Structure 1
């Protein structure tokens, strides 16, 4: 039996541990077991509260899915019942009775069908069984669509029910899993330690029984200490609070849906079982590779966002295969998959990671890592990059640098460090192995255990580029990939490169298309941009401040990012609409992209000519770019041929931006729409975003959906003049302090 103080004996009852005896790990037994009771109660509340939230969703979702299934069955000829039964079912009697569809048979009772002439008990049972079999097959293909522009009571109730789970976030699932594990480990020892709760009962136990009780107490002590270390009491309490919140007003829930529709649809697919085809979600990988990837459990402890199924698979592919290209189509979240892989390694004890990206997305990466994970991030860029690099070597975290900045740093061998993972965004930048940037990346790739290249351009059409990239990752399969694989089409190419390449397309993994996906693209001023911006601030010229990021086109960080987005869209065959408030900015964009663009659709262009430009843009084969002044193209014109929208700057009136996006994301759109808003950090853009975000979201929801808001945007928007004056004053004050 353990010694007094190290375990339990009757004399321990009610004793306060001697000062300096250690900690709560040696505390008196009865308070210890009381704490265990409290923690068990909290743990049992988590799955119960989670189940109630899930049931609330299913109570609304199931009738919606049943309705969709019924509609689909009403379009399937009754003759299909014979096919399902392999010809055994005689359907003549049903046809003669006027039954035209499978749905008409399925909705009748057994009694009603048996009353039909020529239909007996066996035929009735066969017909209903066949109809139900078809209904199950159809259920796997239907998807509930959530339309914020045309809500109805059923989908409104569904969005409200989903909101609670979305608000709880990934912590709800983590808490549930942790609670069930804790219950499994703690419930039995607490029950076995019950004799230790009394003062007299332990005296009647034999030596062996006292030993069992003492062992149970020590197990409880150990589990409680581990739970404290993992902060489980706090996690359980917070999740229960989130799951028990009162329902959000429907309008506010719809606004939240528009802001993060991907999370709503991810939950919806999970709960309805109507997610994408598994082979498509796994990039049609060979079964041996897919099985290995599935077998890896992703540790998302350090993530702050829920992953879609295909995103989780992408992160696990990078981890299981170690040195790969993730080539998902734009809009599918390659960045968050990379962050998930980094977070998994960090949760396992790794502490140094390196991300290399174009300068135009450095700020975006910083914000994404901070928003979506608990990882430390350190930009290694600019004049202080050597000091930042030294800090990374000492303290670890995620170092972010640019292609140009990487070669200026000590190489991996000289630095004496092996990053747990190297991530290279826009990896096609290093397709030429002879360039300085490619050599710098190759040096770090040789030292890193995991290497993840990200590119949204389809490699099937760029086999030579792919071979160059793959040589940096794993030279052995590169020679086996020939141009014939690309010519043979995507399946042949993907089979050849499966160990190192994963690509999924939107239509394969997002069954809810068309969806609206918004991305804020943050960049930093170049030195030339900053000079132009400071001059505009000094002059107190608000409009010039807004377009200063384009004042020097050859040095413009925003323009560089815009070119990258257009190039990626071109690689995927997407049409693009570029909106700006300023004709001058559109002229700069046109000069940067060349003459192969349509427009601009602007205020000085006659209405008939505007429509001609939009029609020509829509009729163009494949990729095309349309330029439009946001005031001129934001209303009245239908641009649903576009699936990518780029906003050159934020707008003073939110409704102006909403209406512009609605030109592409509207009835008739058959693809998901990606909206990229170009923003400059520490500038008028950031001030505008902060000030506009202060508006009450619920009021904005009601107002923006009213007829008044559609007809008179000024009725709900802030005053242009007041906002401009406030921002100019704040920026003059801020820059005056620098």
Structure 2
């Protein structure tokens, strides 16, 4: 019960497993509104119980007549309080909330096939609900980052408003968002694949419900579109990209109308310096989120100085990074210096030598990290992430030429035509770097040999550790297995390059826990088979699948057709 994670087997559905999936689907479909309805109902029940008992005698004249004066006054006071309570609930839309929740729960069950398809698309939400209902949460201390009791208690006392959020959080994600709110200026250092972006959006949504209107996200250019899409799909907040030639107009519009401004490290320094909140409320965002915060570990760099200016002016700051300390404790001290300078003298190299738990306790007021194994019982077996990019200028030129020539295959790989300027390759390098920092093995799939050659060159130039392959159609079966064995036997991080038609069939790649797909496939079975090579029986870690995509391109169109 304590050590085995429940896994719902899609390939061998039994009647009772199907019944479980159908039952979970009702709760998943109801969404966050169901939790709000239950909380509202329980709150009203607590308030109404005593009042209804006290007001009951006011329901009949005879009973009122038999009461003494004090009893009548008490009953009438209870009636008045009841009327106020009900009116308040009506004004807050509670009747509609309860009606909608009841409708969602009483809706006729979906077909078996429909429930299973939905489970495959949204398995994370199903597993999250199952963990909550069954009480199969992971070790609490581990999922809370081994924080000292006094910090954990402060976080537990922090509320989290989900009015502007469109997605349910897993238990550890809710804790992470509340940690950021309670501690105000922190580093969230969760391992890759645990949803740092979702936790940051939950923080912004909570602050928006509290009346705040302006928020700022700073990130590498390679994930700017991802942030814009995630904010739009997972919250009701308005994302405003502050990037490109119209960035100053977008910035001015954000200051006037509010929302979440999303900008890059390179653009941040060119934006007007923020003023203190009490002097110019529109200049200082309610919260500043810095993604891939290890980019500012060098305090002398221009982007670091720009981030430092903004962090001084913002009351709440959230740094996101899966690699807060790549080489030396001093790098971590630099990040904390932006947030809580008073804490820096407490962070000593000797703490890191003493072990991760000792180090975490010493930096607890400003740092939270969970690893996959800490929260595995709440994680689905497969985490899929669409990595949306924008064409670089060189990419776009190559793409336009391919479109003009009517060359479909050239369109699909245009994003790699100029490797040194490729937006997709830049993001791929970032993903591999983060995987390397966490000791994870990576498999990179593409349909095209020349794309794999570009990837091989890009990773070789960046010193990305052991890069094997490409494992392609022309490679003999014995050599293929040798490559796979070498990949599995390499200690720690390694990268295996595979042509998807060759690597997607007949090989066991379960040593990998990160899969990168360089482009969407015309036949979805190709993609499924490739992912299944890593995500299979015996895989002890959850598998992360990153699909590299370019907005407003053939990638976008292919996804819509496949959907």
Task: Tell me the TM-score normalized by structure 1.
Answer: 0.71
User: 1:378 is paired with a residue of what secondary structure?
Assistant: strand
Matched position secondary structure for 1:504: coil
Bigger Cα displacement from structure 2, 481-490 vs 599-608 = 481-490
Q: Quote how far apart the aligned CAs of 1:547 are.
A: 1.1
Q: Secondary structure at the match of 2:285?
A: coil
Over 3 Å counting, the alpha-carbon distance change for 1:193 and 1:388 in structure 2 is: farther
Q: 2:544 aligns with which of 671, 674, 678?
A: 674
Q: Which moved more, 1:227-236 or 1:633-642?
A: 227-236
The equivalent residue for 2:522 is 652
Q: Give the corresponding residue for 1:712.
A: none
- Cα RMSD of the aligned pairs, angstroms, is 2.7
Aligned partner of 1:112 in structure 2 is: none
Whole-Å separation in 2 of the counterparts to 1:239 and 1:534: 49
**Residue 174 of structure 2, aligned match among 287, 312, 318:** 312
Within the alignment, does 1:384 sit opposite 2:384 as a pair? no
Tell me the distance in 2 between the aligned counterparts of 1:461 and 1:263: 36
Kept in 2: contact 1:513–1:671 (CA 8 A):
no
2:273 pairs with 1:411: yes
Matched residues in 2 for 1:386 and 1:220: separation?
Answer: 53
* TM-aligned CA deviation for residue 150 of structure 1: 3.2
Match of 1:250 among 100, 112, 118: 112
Aligned-pair CA distance for 1:357: 0.6
> What is the rounded CA distance, in whole Å, between the counterparts of 1:494 and 1:454 in structure 2?
16
Measure, in 2, the Cα distance between the counterparts of 1:225 and 1:529: 59
Q: CA deviation at 1:182?
A: 3.2
> Are residues 1:633 and 2:503 paired?
yes
Cα 1:530–1:490, aligned 2, differ >3 Å: closer, same or farther?
same
Q: Which residue of 2 aligns with 1:274?
A: 136
* Deviation string, structure 1 residues 628-684 (Cα, Å, up to 9, x no partner): 111111111111110000011111111111000000001221211000111111111
Tell me: CA distance 1:404–1:656, structure 2 relative to 1, closer, same or farther (3 Å).
Answer: same
**Aligned pairs (5 A) from 1:418-457:** 418-457=284-323
CA contact (8 A) 1:516 1:674 kept: yes
Change (3 A) 1:194 1:271: closer
**Cα contact 1:461–1:486 (8 A) shared by 2:** no
Query: What does residue 705 of structure 1 align with?
Result: none
> Is the Cα–Cα contact under 8 Å of residues 327 and 459 in structure 1 kept in the other structure?
no
Change (3 A) 1:229 1:440: farther
Match of 2:444 among 578, 592, 610: 578
* Pair 1:569 & 2:435 matched: yes
- By how many angstroms is 1:183 displaced? 4.1
Structure 1 residues 578-587 or 227-236, which shifts more?
227-236
Measured in 1, the distance between the counterparts of 2:222 and 2:31 equals 30
Q: Give the greater-gyration-radius structure (CA).
A: 1
CA shift, 1:206, in A, is 11
Counterparts of 2:150 and 2:295, CA distance in 1: 31
Please point out which of 544, 547, 553 is paired with 2:419: 553
CA positional deviation for 1:261? 1.9
Give matches, 1:287-366, under 5 Å.
287-366=149-228
CA distance in 2, matches of 1:235, 1:512: 28
Q: Which of residues 346, 352, 363 in structure 2 aligns to 1:486?
A: 352
Deviation of the 1:542 alpha carbon: 1.3
Give the whole-Å Cα distance in 2 for the aligned partners of 1:185 and 1:408. Answer: 54
Specify the alignment match of 1:168 in structure 2.
Answer: 30
Which residue of the partner structure matches residue 238 of structure 1?
100
In structure 2, what is the Cα distance between the partners aligned to 1:168 and 1:531? 45
Query: In 2, distance between residues paired with 1:301 and 1:319?
Result: 16
Distance in 1, Cα, partners of 2:53 & 2:405:
75
Q: Distance in 1 between matches of 2:225 and 2:386?
A: 11
Q: Secondary structure at the match of 1:412?
A: coil
1:661 aligns with 2:531: yes
Structure 1 contact 513–670 (Cα < 8 Å) conserved:
no
Q: Tell me the alpha carbon deviations over residues 499-531 of structure 1, each in whole angstroms, 9 at most, x when there is no partner.
A: 111111111111267711111111122222222
Q: Does 1:526 align with 2:396?
A: no
* Structure 1 residue 219 displacement after superposition: 4.7
Work out whether residues 276 and 284 of structure 2, in 8 Å CA contact, stay in contact via their aligned partners in 1: no
Q: Shift of residue 217 of structure 1?
A: 6.6
User: What is the number of residues matched between the two proteins?
Assistant: 555
In the alignment, the residues of structure 2 paired with residue 678 and residue 476 of structure 1 have an alpha-carbon distance, to the nearest angstrom, of: 41
Shift of 1:147: 2.1
Which structure has more RCO (C-alpha within 8 Å, separation ≥ 6)?
2
C-alpha displacement of 1:188: 6.9
Could you tell me which residue of structure 1 aligns to residue 235 of structure 2?
Answer: 373
Instruction: Give yes or no for contact 2:326–2:437 (8 Å, CA) kept in 1.
Output: no
Answer yes or no: is the 8 Å Cα contact 1:598–1:627 preserved in 2: yes
Gaps of at least 5 residues in structure 2 are none
Give the whole-Å Cα distance in 2 for the aligned partners of 1:332 and 1:661.
Answer: 19
